[in-house]
Amino acid sequence: MKLVLLAAGRGVRFGGLKQLAPVGPRGEALIDYTARDALAAGYEGVVLVVREEIRDLVASHVSARWPEDLPVDVVVQPARPGTVYAVVSATPAIDGPFTVANADDLYGSRALTAIREHFAMVGSSTPTHVLVAYQLSKTVLTDAEVRRGVCEVGGSSKLAAIREHRVRLRADGRFDALPLTPEEGGAVLGRSARVLDPESLVSMNLWGFSPSILDHLSEAIAPFEPLGPEHEVLLPQVLGDLIDRRSVQVEVIETASCCYGLTHREDVALVREHLDKQDEPVGPACEQSI
């Protein structure tokens, strides 16, 4: 099983190349920790999706820092923004079930292992998909606005719905959440704000997919090809639509662990503080288990 690591983002809100931002005690980037965790979790290799203009820089970083016994394929995402385009661009390097993760989030080996073990149990021929869902409060470091895919879980731990929201921490510990418009990559029409509890389940873009998902993703981006490079197509948007149409089923793996990442420049110091304390991304009120 391979890990598809999405590292083509432009880091607009961060203000730079956050994929390689040094957060570890020896200048490690988050992708270095994820590569280590993937190897520990038994992954056969990493497919690293990048932009053309950063390909050489990222490849040089990987060559210098990643374990030699971890095979790496570097693929270039076309000039189309969004995580769906990123995953589709990795198709030539995928030969079985695969995991998708962001390059700017720190998931830990337990979450990656949970997905791999799921597919080891069900077999590679079963068209199954999974999502690791985190408690919202355990994914937010500051009161700055972030994007989260808010999840609804139905019977048998199946994902009933997922919608992208702009989320901000309130003074009372809850969260203001505003659905994204279609122009922002969201699947929700209307702009009705919500207040979410800290335990609300959200996606941090950690998915496990059977290869059959690639056909669905390719079909989803086909209508947007003539629109130019500015139209962003996101995984939560497309998976939410597929679930609404009952075209796919996604099993939810809930975790009490934390998942911290880099959205804003000030997040670097906070993530570094947690890494200084322990290897796993576990902070206050976070469990060491999936």
3-class SS letters over 130-182 = EEEEEEHHHHCCCCCCEEEEEEEECHHHEEEEEEEEEEEECCCCCEEEEECCH
Tell me the residue range of the domain where 48 lies: 2-277
Total tally of structural domains belonging to the chain: 1
Of the candidate ranges 133-142, 168-177, 222-231, the one whose mean pLDDT is the lowest: 222-231
Residue 142 lies in a domain: yes
Contacts of 100 (CB under 8 A, 6+ apart): 3, 4, 6, 83, 87, 205, 206, 207, 208, 209, 235
Question: What CATH number has the domain bearing residue 29?
Answer: 3.90.550.10
Residue 250 lies in a domain: yes
Residue 284 lies in a domain: no
Q: Please give the radius of gyration of the chain, using alpha carbons only, rounded to the nearest integer.
A: 18
Residue 59 is predicted with a pLDDT of: 94
pLDDT (tens digit per residue) in 173-213: 999 999 986 655 554 445 578 999 999 999 999 999 999 99
**pLDDT over 50 at 218, yes or no:** yes
Average pLDDT of the segment spanning 66-92: 93
Residue 55 lies in a domain: yes
pLDDT (tens digit per residue) in 36-62: 999 999 999 999 999 999 999 999 999
The model's pTM is 0.90
Residue 282 lies in a domain: no
Residue 208 lies in a domain: yes
Question: How many percent of the chain have pLDDT more than 90?
Answer: 63
E strands, the chain, in order: 2-6, 45-50, 72-76, 98-102, 105-106, 129-135, 146-153, 159-169, 175-179, 194-196, 201-209, 250-255, 260-261
Question: How many percent of the chain have pLDDT more than 70?
Answer: 86
Average pLDDT of the segment spanning 129-147: 94
Residue 174 is predicted with a pLDDT of: 97
pLDDT (tens digit per residue) in 85-135: 999 999 999 999 999 999 999 998 899 999 999 999 887 666 789 999 999
Give the confidence band of 275 by pLDDT, cuts at 50, 70, 90.
confident
Nearest 10 degrees: CA dihedral of 66, 68, 72, 74? Answer: 60
The answer to whether 176 touches 198, Cβ cutoff 8 Å, is no
Angle between helices 30-40 and 55-65 (to 10 degrees): 50
Residue 44 lies in a domain: yes
What sign for the dihedral angle of Cα 176, 182, 184, 186?
Answer: positive
Residue 109 is predicted with a pLDDT of: 85
Residue 187 is predicted with a pLDDT of: 47
Residue 42 is predicted with a pLDDT of: 94
Residue 59 lies in a domain: yes
pLDDT (tens digit per residue) in 238-256: 999 999 999 999 999 999 8
Question: Within 13 A of 94's CA, how many CA atoms are on the CB side?
Answer: 25
Q: Which of 196, 207, 15 minimizes the C-alpha distance to 116? A: 207
Q: How far apart are CA 71 and CA 39, in angstroms?
A: 10
What sign for the dihedral angle of Cα 10, 15, 21, 24?
Answer: negative
